Every structure is written in C-alpha cells, then in structure tokens.
Chain A
Amino acid sequence: MFCEKAIELIRELQRMSDGQLPAFNEDGLRQVLQEMEALYEQNQTDVNEAKADGRAELIPSIKLRHCCLLRNQRCLTAYLYDRLLRIRALRWEYGSVLPANVRFHMCAEEVQWFTHYKKSLASFMRSLGGGEGLDITQDMKPPKSLYIEVRCLKDHGEFEIDDGTVILLKKNSQHFLPRWKCEQLIRQGVLEHVMS
C-alpha cells in the first residue's frame, strides 16, 4: 500500500519516546521520495490522458495518488521536524559540542541546522541586558544549596574555583564544591552529584 514507508519512518521515532535520536534513515527517506516521484509521474500521464481523451474515469485514481503524495510529504516533514526538535534539545542538554556518537546519527544537513541554531542562540544570549550577556543554558534548576558533594567520573585535570583554589579532578575523587561551578560539568557527565 502507498505511504507505508513514510509511516514506518514515523513509527521509528515513536519507538524512541524518550527523545533519543536514532540514526538518520537515509534509505527510508530515499524510498519515500522515489514513491512520490513514481506517483507524480503516473498522475502526469493520467492527467494528460484525461484531458486529451476526456477519460473522466481516471479522475478518482488521480485524486488518490494526489492524496498519497500529500500524505507522504506530511509524514516526511513530520519525521524531519521531530528529529530537529530532538537535536535542538541536545544543545540544551549537552552544550554546544555534541558527543561523537550522537553526531554520527545526524545527516550533514542536520549538522548544519545545529550549527546555525547554536550560533543564533549564542548571539541571542550575548545580546541580553543591553549587550551584557547571560548564559540561559545555565541555572536550569532552582538553587537549593550553595555547595554540593560531587564525585568525579572521569579525569578532567585542574579546576579553579572562585577564591583561587585549584582542585584536581581525578576519576573517583570526591569534592565539596560550589554548585554553580559544577552545573556544566555535571551535565557533561564529568561530575556526578552525590546525594547522601
């Protein structure tokens, strides 16, 4: 039946309901586009015939193919747009450098979209407060306490905090650090908030 491949693409995304980004289905996309091309060409032929020979009985199949074409377009744009929303969420989750395994799942155009998005976001943030700038990707949670206990999950080298002290972030070491300094590192997976 027509449009089945397009629905399959949507189901692929529906299966990953937690916002994960599956690999870009280049094959699936190509198949849907090919089906659209075939439907369109059949319609062109039929429309010409219907006009030239007055064959009105071709009209229902012309209409059917047109509906399938619209459905395919709609499904494809839904698939592509939903992926964009997931990619957008990555900027807010991981920061402006995406982990390699995520980037492999993106097609070249999606990487470009992401690059433009983060540039746009950066200039927006820079322009806040009359040019002073504010990083609104920080402070994602209301501050509960000033200092938090964190455990280092991987070696991250030296880390300087406000009063000048330098902490060595070695894997498995635990530290009592100012919360606002750790936020970014916690999101990147370098530190882990230890809640006793």
Chain B
Amino acid sequence: MMDALSDDGSDVNQDDTQEDVMTPAELIAKLEEAWLNEKFSPELQENKSEVVECVMEQLSHMEENLQRVKKGDAKASIHRMEIDRIRFVLSSYLRSRLQKIEKFFPHILEREKSRGEGAPSLLSPEEFAFAKEYYANTETYLKAVALKRMPPNLQTVDMLKAVPEPCLDSFVFLRVKERQENILVEPEADDQREYVVDLEEGSQHLMRYRTIAPLVSSGAVQLI
C-alpha cells in the first residue's frame, strides 16, 4: 500500500539524509509495537517521540497524495482507509500514554525529577508540560474546594501516598523476539529453589510484568 503511494510520484521517505533510513512499512511496524507495548503494560513506557513525529509526517504526505488522486477512483478509498487506520493507532497510542500519565501523575513526575542527567526521559516535553499542569490543577482544586477549610495540620495531602502506584506484578502476555537465558522468575526462598527459565525466540508466555520489564524497553520481548 505504501509502495503504491510512492508510485504516485511522491517522495514519501524523507529520511534519506539521516543515517538509519526506515521504510514507511518499518516505521508503521515500530508504531504498532510501541502501541501494543503501551496498551498492555501496567506502567508508562519510554517515550517514542521520533516515531510519533515521523508517523505524523507520513500521514501528511499520504493526505497530500490523496488530494491528487482523482475523486471516485477506487484507489482513493483504500488509501483513505489506510490513513484512518494509521491515525487510529497513533491516537490510541497517545491516549494510552496520557491515561497513564493522569493515573499515576505524582509518581511519574517524581521519577522525572530524580532521573539522572544522561538517562532517557519517560515523557516527551509536551507530555511533561501536561503532567505538571495536571498536578498543579488538581492540587489547586483540592486546596480551594476543601483543604483550606480544614484544620491547620491537615491542609495538605501527600500526592505520592494518596495516588496509587502502577501494579508491576500484573500478568502480561508476551512474545519473545530475542532469545533470553536465565530469566529469574522466582527468587530462592526458604520453601522453594529459585525458578529460572530460558525464553526461546518466537515463544509466547504469560508472566509477571515485573520479571520482564527491562526486556520490554530493550525490545527483546513484545507485549501482546
């Protein structure tokens, strides 16, 4: 489908000058991976703003091409459908992130504050601004409507204690992309030996998110 659009004479892939050139198909595959991981993980994943920006560029190109196609041409509806599908995945991805940001806002902001200089940011700059505004808005509201009318020693609420943290022990389905050895599922305890598994490439599992969280960020497993 993407190739059909390039055949229309448009320059769809504008990343020629960059080192790692991704075909449109690869870009959309990356978006879908990020989308699934975000949907199925209990905590917020690393932000992928480069993918978001590239996909939006892609969508603009596709919309432009669509304007050039003759109205009523059968191709037009298929391209239209594809644009809508990609836009749905992108919107769903961003919504998923926003929902988690709102749900866990004090913890996410705390993580950003204490993150080291070189460590990658969990939030895009726009998401960070949104998260801070959400925090301020909610705090101001609670103060104005009730807290300021309470006894002096009860006029603040510790957001970190009041808002629950994501449950990292929830179970997730995953598919293994890169073989992993000696994944510690259960540590050794008084009544059991340590439970360790190897994850074969292509296999699918149902495991606690906490066990495989680093493998999701590294791309070694894909949540499904």
Q: Which residues of A contact B (CB under 8 A)?
A: 29, 33, 36-37, 40, 69-70, 73, 76-77, 80-81, 84, 88, 107, 109-110, 112-113, 116-117, 120-121, 123-124, 127-130, 132, 134, 136, 138-143, 146, 163, 179-180
Total number of B residues with any Cβ neighbor in A under 8 Å: 41
In the assembled complex, B126 has its CB within 8 A of some CB on chain A: yes
**Which chain B residues (135-155) contact chain A, with CB distance < 8 Å?**
137-138, 140-142, 144-146, 149-151, 154
Q: How far is the CA of A140 from the CA of B81 in the complex (A)?
A: 15
Interface of B is mostly: helix
Surface stretch bound by A, among B14-22, B52-60, B189-197, B205-213: B52-60
Q: List 30 A-B contacts (CB under 8 A).
A: A33-B150, A36-B151, A36-B154, A73-B150, A73-B154, A77-B142, A77-B162, A80-B145, A84-B141, A107-B145, A109-B141, A109-B144, A116-B133, A117-B137, A121-B130, A123-B129, A124-B98, A124-B130, A128-B94, A128-B126, A129-B52, A130-B56, A134-B87, A136-B98, A139-B87, A143-B81, A143-B85, A146-B81, A146-B84, A180-B84
Measured in the bound complex, the distance between the Cα atoms of B149 and A73 in whole Å is 11
Q: B141 and A142: CB pair below 8 A? A: no
Q: CB < 8 Å: which of B56, B145, B154 contacts A134?
A: B56
**Interface status of B169 (Cβ within 8 A of chain A):** no
Residues in chain A near residue B23, CB distance under 8 A: none
Residues of the A chain whose Cβ atoms lie less than 8 Å from the Cβ of B149: 33
Decide: A69 and B145 in contact? CB cutoff 8 A: no
> What is the CA–CA distance of A116 and B129 in the complex, to the nearest angstrom?
13
| Contacts beyond the supplied A80-B145, A113-B140, A146-B77: 16 A-B pairs with Cβ under 8 Å | A77-B142, A81-B162, A84-B138, A84-B141, A112-B141, A120-B137, A124-B126, A128-B56, A129-B56, A129-B57, A134-B87, A139-B88, A139-B92, A143-B85, A143-B88, A179-B84
